[in-house]
Amino acid sequence: MLSLPYPPRRSHLRGFWLVLTLTLAPLYMGALWLFGPGLAMTASGLVLFGAVVLGFAWAPLPKVLYRIWMLAAQRFAVVGRLYVAALIHFLLLPSAGRAEAALALSDPKGSMWRPYRAAPEGAGGSVAAEEKWFMQLVRESRTRGRGWWLLLLPPLMVLSLFVADAKDDKSVPENIYTLF
């Protein structure tokens, strides 16, 4: 639903119209079976058939529906994203406890230099594989002792379905670093 590109190319419109036709056809057949043939069904069948043919011949028709579909999809993505993000943020993250010590939010006094702890990944190193992010998360949750990451995994995977609008980097504020 969210992977449709916008604005669409002609091939996208044709594909969209074909899928719409293939979806509506069984629905119409079902209605025909349910209500039986009659004037209303014949008339609506003719209108639908005409619309399908017109849609393949005249691009503005599928374009309008495509646009409506995409707007609805975007709204759904925003709501879905906020819903899942809220679930993670307000329920799951607190269950993992705070990490104030890691961030040194209270002044520990003295030097703030700490031992350098990054282990640069070398060629052929253990983390060299090109895994999908969720596989990395599973593996690293074990090696880092962060089992609570596994709790986040299902909602994060759902969240990744709602990223169409997040790919637009205009939605990312410029004034903060922590996003990155």
Shortest Cβ distance from residue 110 to another protein (Å)?
A: 7
Residues 135-154 that bind another protein (CB under 8 A): 136-137, 140, 144, 146, 149, 152
Binding mask 101-140 for another protein (x = CB under 8 A): -xxxx-xx-xxxxxxxxxxxxxxxx-xx-x-xx--xx--x
Among residues 28 and 69, whose Cβ is nearest to another protein? Answer: 69
Please give the size of the binding site for another protein, defined by CB under 8 A: 73
Dihedral angle over CA of 117, 121, 124, 130, nearest 10: 120
Residues 9-28 that bind another protein (CB under 8 A): 9
Query: What single-letter DSSP state applies at residue 6?
Result: S
**Residue 137: CA count within 13 A, CB half-sphere:** 13
Neighbours of 20 (CB within 10 A): 17
Among residues 63 and 81, whose Cβ is nearest to another protein? Answer: 81
d(CA 46, CA 30): 16
